[in-house]
A and B are shown apart, each in its own frame.
Chain A
Amino acid sequence: MNHLLSTEHMPRDLIEAILDDSDEFGEVLTRPIPKVPALRGRTVATMFFEPSTRTRMSFEKAAKALSADTVTFSPSTSALSKGESLKDTALTVWAMGVDLMVVRHSSTGAPWRLAEWLDIPIINGGDGANQHPTQALLDCLTIRQRFGTLDGLHIAIVGDIKHSRVARSNVFAMATLGAEVTLVGPPTLLPVDVENWPVKATADLDAVLPTVDVVYLLRVQTERGGSSVFPSFSEYAERFGMSSERFAALRPESVVLHPGPINRGVEIGHDVADHERSLILAQVTNGVAVRMAVLFRLLGGDHDE
C-alpha cells in the first residue's frame, strides 16, 4: 500500500489487517502515556482545502500519538487566497520536507492528482462526494468490535447517499468485508450508478428496520445542496429520521452509527443520539486508532513477509 485513496478495490485481507492493527493502536490510546515513538522524526501535513474539525484533529492526534510532527495547511490563511494553484501549493509544502500528506478537497480526484505529482504517500481525507476511506475503516472497526465480524450483517445506510463520500466509501468497505448493505433514501438522493454498487436500495426505512443489525445515518448535507432536493428538514425527519419510535422498532442488539456532525432532531432523534446502542462516540475514538494504523502502515512498516 503506497497511498490510501479509496476503499473501492481494497482487498479484504488489507482492510482486515488495518483493522487488526487499529485494535492494537487503540490499546495504546488507553495507556497512561498514550504515545509510542514509532514515527519519531516524520512529518505529516494535513492539507484541508475544505472545512473540517474532527477529521483534521483526529489525524493530528493520531500522528502525535505516533510521535510524528504535524504541519497544518488551512486555505483561509494561506496563499490560496493569493491565487496559488493546488499543484503549486502541494509542491511548496512537499519541498518543506513532509513525509506524508492528508488531503481533503471539494473536487473529486484531487488526492489522486497529488499522488501523481508527489512521491510521498497521500491519504484521502475526503474528496468531493467521492471517497473518505479512513471514515469507512473506522466505521467498519466500530461495527467489528460490536459484532465480532461484518460477515453476514445487514447494514442500512440512510440519507443523502448521492452527495455522500462517507456512504460511497462505506458501501465498498462493508461489502468487501461480507456485509449486506441496503441504501435507504429518497430516489432523488440515490446515486445515478447505484445499479453498479454491491447494494440494494429502497425508499422505505420502516420496512428495513426489523431486519438490520446496523443503521448508518448520514448527515443531511446542507452545503452540498441537500436541502434543495427535499422539501424541509421536518419532512426529512418524518420519513428518514431515526426517531425514538423507529429506534424501538429495531432488534434489541442493533446499533446506530453516524459520521458526525449530527443534526439532532433531523436525521437522529435527541434520545437516540445519547443511547447506549448509538456508537457515535466510539466511532470518534476509533477514528484516532484507525488513522494511527494507516499512518504507521504508510510510513513505518507493512505486513508483507
Chain B
Amino acid sequence: MREGARHFYFSDWAWQFGLGGSMRQVMTAEDLNRVVRRIANEIVERNHGADNVLLLGIPTRGKPFADRIAAAVSDIESSSCAAGSLDIGMYRDDLDSRPRTRIGPTDIPSPVDGADVVLVDDVLYTGRTIRAALDALADLGRPATVQLAVIVDRGHRQLPIRPDFVGKNIPTSMTEHVSVRIVPHDDEDGVWIGDEVLS
C-alpha cells in the first residue's frame, strides 16, 4: 500500500516533467548515504582532519548534500563542522542565452581566507557552474585550496575542471536527463536517469 502510494506520487512527478515512464533509478537512498559517508572520509583524509575545512554547497541541491557531508565529517572527527552555501546565479556566463537563473542564498559560516574550501554540488556536467563558483569564491576571499565534491559526475565537460571527490560516475548521453533528489529539498533521496525533458 505504501509502495503503491509512493509509486503513484513518483509517476505524477515524472509526468509533470514530461518524462513519461522512461525514468530509471540508478542510485537509491542507501546508495546516497554510503556515498556521503565515503566522501566525508575522503575529505578528512585528504585534509588531515577537518579543522580548516569549509564546506560550501552550491544551491539548490548542493546545499543539502554539503549539510549531510558536514554531519558525517562531524561524526568522524567528533567536532562540529558546518556547511555554508555559495550561490552562483550572479556569476553565470550565459545569462544572455539562458535567462532563467534563480538567485539562491550565499551564507559563509567562517572566513574563506586561508581555508580549505570544498565546493559541493549534486551533478557535475559541463563544468560551467563550477567555473562560476570559482569566480564567486574569488570575490569572497583567498582560500588556501579549493576542492570539488560531486555526487554524480555525468561527463561532457566543456572546461578544464575535474572533481576531487566523486560519488558515482554515470556515463550519459547529452540527450539524457539526470535527476538527483534529496530531502529536505525533495521528498525522497535517490538518482534517476531519463530522456531529456522537452522544453
Please report A residues at the B interface, Cβ cutoff 8 Å.
20-21, 24-25, 27-28, 31-33, 35-39, 66, 293, 296, 300-305
Q: Are A36 and B103 closer than 8 Å at their CB atoms?
A: no
* Least CB distance, A100 to chain B, in whole angstroms: 14
Q: Which residues of A contact B105 (CB under 8 A)?
A: 24, 27
Q: Which residues of B contact A36 (CB under 8 A)?
A: 90-91, 136, 139
Closest to B101 in A: A301
Q: Which residues of B contact A35 (CB under 8 A)?
A: 139
Q: Are B87 and A37 closer than 8 Å at their CB atoms?
A: no
Query: Which A-B residue pairs are the 5 nearest by beta carbons?
Result: A301-B101, A36-B90, A38-B90, A301-B99, A24-B103
Closest to A293 in B: B103
> When chains A and B are docked, how far (Å) is the Cα of A24 from the Cα of B104?
7
Closest to B136 in A: A36
Interface of B: prevailing SS: loop
Against A, the Cβ 8 Å flags (1 = close, 0 = not) of B81-102 are: 0000001011110010001111
Q: Which residues of B contact A66 (CB under 8 A)?
A: 90
Q: Which residues of A contact B89 (CB under 8 A)?
A: 38, 301
- Pick the contact of B106 from A21, A27, A38, A303 — CB < 8 Å? A27
Q: Does B29 lie at the interface of the complex (its beta carbon under 8 Å from any beta carbon of A)?
A: no
Q: Are A31 and B140 closer than 8 Å at their CB atoms?
A: yes
Q: Are A301 and B95 closer than 8 Å at their CB atoms?
A: yes
Closest to A36 in B: B90
* Least CB distance, A297 to chain B, in whole angstroms: 9
* Least CB distance, A63 to chain B, in whole angstroms: 13
Q: Does B12 lie at the interface of the complex (its beta carbon under 8 Å from any beta carbon of A)?
A: no
Q: Are B91 and A37 closer than 8 Å at their CB atoms?
A: yes
* Least CB distance, A62 to chain B, in whole angstroms: 13
> When chains A and B are docked, how far (Å) is the Cα of A302 from the Cα of B103?
9
